[in-house]
Structure 1
């Protein structure tokens, strides 16, 4: 069989075809039904490639409820039962067909994100899957952006006691937070921020980040904290919150003039303390593999690396 033989590529019809869509295993399968109900996914954003009644490949995009277009491709799988060449060909053909319908003409395709085990390079099946999928994505213009750590704090993990070096207060208003978010982009190690800075001014990048993430948290904004020196000078900030799925440390940063002094540990502890006070089952966070200072701070705070993401983007 080749990928050209009797292949049907189409979106699913709705909830009634979720069983079909989930025939290929992936960690996000259990979230798809709720996402469809909540409007974070649409049947027209969920595509399958079928040979008869056999599911050979699938792709699904994610977006905010009410959005006209998605901004993340986070499900993309090809049946392992095909040859390597067929897997890459199938993936390419599915994505080309679906993108022509899902993404408006002339629009940059949404970023691709793949969840993988922390040791994915040492696991043949996971390594092969990443290689095949990224090869298919490369054929339609995607390029690697970053690999990220997904981290989790679990109840019972000790939280660092306040050192007394910093004071914490609520964020005054959105403008104050945006000003600080703009400042911390100077010298940032975060790949997404650096990508944004290559396309737009720092202030615009900060606004974009806020509007696409923090503005959508379901939790109160008075959880957000500014860290200051005793005289009131801001040192950094943390934005603990609850997204569509989990309690999260949504943003954590130290201002450029105060980096290298160990303040990150106190700021992260404050954000963790705020969330843990609400009897959460877990706290999630993420940082780039290459952002060593941030990764080390989470490690010292007892956050466990339970997963990684592979992110690709389009120029």
Structure 2
């Protein structure tokens, strides 16, 4: 059980397949990953399991555990035990005693529950994580819109303007937490005030976008009253609909479709190859809005947290 010895061991680390393998070299070069955050369990030269954390360039601590794989050729009891041992050894080295590890995120096939082989692999990982104290927070839908997919024409019910400043977006983010169906936001609200939760979300995500904030839009009624907002953006990897919401007093009027279409249109005008988005599996109103605008689900994401 040890961290890798730098980029020269990426081939070893990548022996277990996952879509993120192709990003590892660039992530190491950019500082989003570090060798000491990338751990392997070896028997001789056989890779039994691996784990890796991701963080923003320049940060001293990782933000996310997004790679955790176990060789599925071993017996079930051994598979899970190896995963547990690797996680415990790696977390003890990466984080100070008593620190809460960052969230675990893993993309999985949409039909993983119906696919026996995929379900076994996902189940092994989740059981290993649970034995280290993690719990399932939420399963999310990962969605994608492709250029050429028709967008509904503006209906004229709403006007759109740029966000004025950071204070305005924080105030709107705080207001939309009232009655939110988002599991991460609901979890935040068990430990902090709505304003603290909004500020934390802003700092972790929106403030780190690489794209112009001029793309962000506030949706208003004709008299200027805000109805909701959307933050079309680019993260380190893709154009994304970063945050999309309708204020509580305006929910139930179908405004979400207009706001999502506007955010998607802004990104589409940049000539992007795709637009990515995500929402909770249980957030049916938001999921249906994405479907109506032409987004398709290409993966699910398992999110687990430590108390």
What interval of TM-score do these two structures reach, taking the shorter chain for normalisation?
over 0.9
What are the residue-to-residue correspondences of 1:1-315 with 2, within 5 Å? 9-315=1-307
**For residues 246 and 102 of structure 1, what CA distance do their matches in structure 2 show?**
28
| 1:107, distance to aligned residue in structure 2 (A) | 1.2
**For residues 207 and 152 of structure 1, what CA distance do their matches in structure 2 show?**
27
Q: Where does structure 1 differ by over 4 angstroms across 4 or more consecutive aligned residues?
A: none
**For residues 161 and 312 of structure 1, what CA distance do their matches in structure 2 show?**
39
**For residues 265 and 89 of structure 2, what CA distance do their matches in structure 1 show?**
47
User: What SS does structure 1 have at the residue aligned with 2:113?
Assistant: helix
User: What SS does structure 2 have at the residue aligned with 1:120?
Assistant: coil
Deviations 1:158-201 (A, max 9, x none): 01111100000000000000000000000000000001000100
User: What SS does structure 2 have at the residue aligned with 1:24?
Assistant: coil
**Size of the alignment, in residue pairs?**
307
| 1:141, distance to aligned residue in structure 2 (A) | 0.4
TM-score, normalised relative to structure 1: 0.97
TM-score, normalised relative to structure 2: 0.99
**For residues 168 and 155 of structure 1, what CA distance do their matches in structure 2 show?**
22
**For residues 194 and 95 of structure 2, what CA distance do their matches in structure 1 show?**
27
Q: Which residue of the partner structure matches residue 6 of structure 1? A: none
**For residues 98 and 250 of structure 2, what CA distance do their matches in structure 1 show?**
42
| 1:305, distance to aligned residue in structure 2 (A) | 0.1
**For residues 107 and 89 of structure 1, what CA distance do their matches in structure 2 show?**
23
| 1:234, distance to aligned residue in structure 2 (A) | 0.2
| 1:121, distance to aligned residue in structure 2 (A) | 1.0
Deviations 1:75-103 (A, max 9, x none): 00000110000010000000000000111
**For residues 36 and 285 of structure 2, what CA distance do their matches in structure 1 show?**
41
**For residues 68 and 309 of structure 1, what CA distance do their matches in structure 2 show?**
26
**For residues 187 and 94 of structure 1, what CA distance do their matches in structure 2 show?**
39
Deviations 1:204-247 (A, max 9, x none): 00000000001011100000000000000000000000000000
- Give unmatched runs, 5+ long, in structure 2: none
| 1:124, distance to aligned residue in structure 2 (A) | 1.6
